[in-house]
């Protein structure tokens, strides 16, 4: 089912693109939006991507940077927190969520992988219950 175009990021000629979107935020948005059954919502004014009603990527533009809040695999959490651009997320950090500030290609690549990991965790919940 095609996604509605109403929340698509503005094109490069749009004033909103120049003032509120940057290349990192745009890359994060396009990646999360491309996930099967991903739904974009704006419950607090920020962009939240959900699958099956559960959030897997919380994001917002941060000036010239991008950022996303994701839940990495538990085994990776401690090591990720040693990176300078990853911190424990406010409010939901106690549940294993982290904030990733993206301002270069290295942090972008890791953020995209963490979106994948979080999406896979959320999307796979409940599948086995329905199959049995």
Query: For the segment 83-101, what is each residue's pLDDT rounded down to a tens digit?
Result: 999 999 999 999 999 999 9
**3-class secondary-structure state, position 70:** strand
The arithmetic mean of pLDDT across residues 8-34, rounded, is: 69
Average pLDDT, the chain: 84
Report the predicted TM-score, pTM, of the whole model to 2 decimal places.
Answer: 0.80
Query: For the segment 23-60, what is each residue's pLDDT rounded down to a tens digit?
Result: 899 999 999 999 999 999 998 888 999 999 999 999 97
Domain coordinates in residue numbering, the chain = 11-131
Phi, psi of 101, deg, nearest 5 = -90, 125
Task: Give me the sign of the Cα torsion angle 105, 106, 110, 116.
Answer: positive
Query: For the segment 69-83, what is each residue's pLDDT rounded down to a tens digit?
Result: 999 999 999 999 999
Pairing of strands 86-88, 54-62: unpaired
Would you identify the CATH topology of the domain 11-131?
A: 3.90.1150
Helix spans in 39-104 (H): 74-80
Tell me which of 6-10, 14-18, 57-61, 101-105 is least confident: 14-18
Radius of gyration (C-alpha) of the chain in whole angstroms: 15
Which residue carries 């695999």 as its tokens? Answer: 73
Which residue carries 């300078």 as its tokens? Answer: 84
């Amino acid at each position: 089912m095609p996604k509605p175009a109403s929340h698509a990021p503005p094109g490069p000629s749009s004033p909103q693109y120049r003032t509120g979107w940057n290349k990192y935020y745009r890359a994060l948005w396009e990646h999360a939006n491309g996930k099967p059954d991903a739904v974009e919502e704006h419950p607090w004014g920020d962009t939240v991507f959900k699958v099956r009603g559960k959030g897997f990527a919380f994001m917002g533009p941060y000036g010239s940077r991008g950022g996303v809040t994701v839940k990495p695999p538990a085994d990776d959490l401690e090591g990720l927190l040693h990176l300078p651009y990853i911190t424990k997320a406010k409010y939901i950090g106690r549940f294993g969520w982290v904030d990733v500030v993206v301002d270069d290609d290295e942090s972008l690549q890791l953020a995209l992988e963490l979106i994948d990991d979080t999406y896979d965790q959320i999307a796979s919940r409940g599948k086995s219950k329905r199959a049995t």
